Amino acid sequence: MPDSALASTLRLSVMRLARRMRAERADTSLSLSQLAALATLDRHGPLAPGELAAHEKVQPPSMTRLVASLEAAALVTRAAHPTDGRQVLLSVAPAGRALLQEDRRRRDAWLSGQLRGLDPADREVLQRAVGVLERLASS
Amino acid sequence: MPDSALASTLRLSVMRLARRMRAERADTSLSLSQLAALATLDRHGPLAPGELAAHEKVQPPSMTRLVASLEAAALVTRAAHPTDGRQVLLSVAPAGRALLQEDRRRRDAWLSGQLRGLDPADREVLQRAVGVLERLASS
DNA sequence: TATTGTTATACTCTATAACTATA
DNA sequence: TATAGTTATAGAGTATAACAATA
């Protein structure tokens, strides 16, 4: 199989699987943007709105609105910056952390179930492929 | 590696790679919705707007607007239904087909380039993983 | 004067509800 | 009366421009 054919089939299968997994969380009350911002805040620890906007590749005004909705849902809290009065520090509230864990658990539950239905040989193939996929994604 | 751990790492790598590939077509003038509708019309052949809306999982009024934009760009053409005066049949115009091919070519070009940079052993792993990913996506 | 964040406003995409034309 | 499609209108989500507060 030449690279071009492998590229086409790999692209299609990855895109389809991503779409399938995304569909598996259709019942969450948060939008993907809100969930992504919350997850980033959880990974990086407390961030200012501007920094969070930069991480999420949205403009500051968009992040203002996004954060306001997360705050209204009591998923993030805001605190004054210790030295710079202009800045604000956002943190994930306990309820936000719980929501993230629940969301991950639900998505992984579906995929885990699918994986259990595979031949051991197929699981072995996937396990070796994961590292390669990861390298492709970050290149 | 237990299924749950494989599930987590597989989910992350697939999602990241999908995002990376999507980013590789940021310069196309069409939105993802427009491109998807055009591709579906290309795959299935002539369809009525309502059928196309059902395929794309959007409501008919949304498809009306979507189709109008594709028509304005001369990417699809519309024809009267032979027997039912209420219906309309949409087809991909030559320019639409050319655009689809160009879009696929550009995305595969990026991925092909990445694949050429891999060890032969890694390509072998991917080749065997593609089938498994495809089965997961369609389950 | 520069920087951080917010408010005001507009655009895109999609939805539901109401309307028109044909069966 | 039922169906296919369109138009009218509204609600997310994100953008740019203008503004307020602090450094």
Domain chopping of chain B, boundaries: 3-137
> Is strand D within 7 Å of residue A31 (CB)?
yes
The pLDDT of residue A84 is: 94
Q: Which of residues 75-134 of B touch A (CB under 8 A)?
A: 104, 107-108, 111-112, 114-118, 122-123, 125-130, 132-134
| Residues B29-55, mean pLDDT to the nearest whole number | 93
The domain defined by B3-137 folds into Arc Repressor Mutant, subunit A (1.10.10)
Q: Which chain A residues are within 8 Å of B9, Cβ to Cβ?
A: 130, 134
The pLDDT of residue A26 is: 56
The number of beta carbons lying within 10 Å of the beta carbon of residue A47 is 19
- CA B14/CA B139 separation, integer angstroms: 16
**CATH number, domain A29-137:** 1.10.10.10
- CA A70/CA A26 separation, integer angstroms: 18
Amino acid (1-letter code) at residue B118: L
Among residues A32, A114, A16, A75, the alpha carbon closest in space to that of B130 is found at A16
Q: Where does residue B118 fall: left (phi above 0), alpha (psi -120 to 50 degrees), or beta otherwise?
A: beta
- Rounded mean pLDDT of chain B? 91
The pLDDT of residue B83 is: 92
The answer, yes or no, to whether residue A2 has pLDDT greater than 80, is no
The number of beta carbons lying within 10 Å of the beta carbon of residue B136 is 22
- CA A58/CA A137 separation, integer angstroms: 21
A9 → chain B, closest CA residue: B130
Measured at the CA of A112, the angle between CA B122 and CA B12, to 5 degrees, comes to: 50
Dump pLDDT digits (tens) for A31-76. Answer: 889 999 999 999 999 999 999 999 999 999 999 999 999 999 999 9
**Strands A76-80 and B88-92, bridge-based pairing:** unpaired
Judged by C1' against the alpha carbon of B61, the nearest nucleotide is D6
Give residues with Cβ within 8 angstroms of B1, minimum separation 6: A127
The pLDDT of residue B3 is: 75
pTM for this entry: 0.79
Helix (H, G, I), strand (E, B) or coil at A91: strand
The answer, yes or no, to whether residue A28 has pLDDT greater than 70, is no
**Where is average pLDDT lowest: A33-37, B4-8, B41-45?**
B4-8
The pLDDT of residue B26 is: 56
The pLDDT of residue B27 is: 62
Nearest CA-CA distance, residue A101 and chain B, Å: 12
User: Mutate which of B133, B134, B138 to disrupt the A interface (most A C-beta within 10 Å)?
Assistant: B133
* B92's tokens: 């991909």
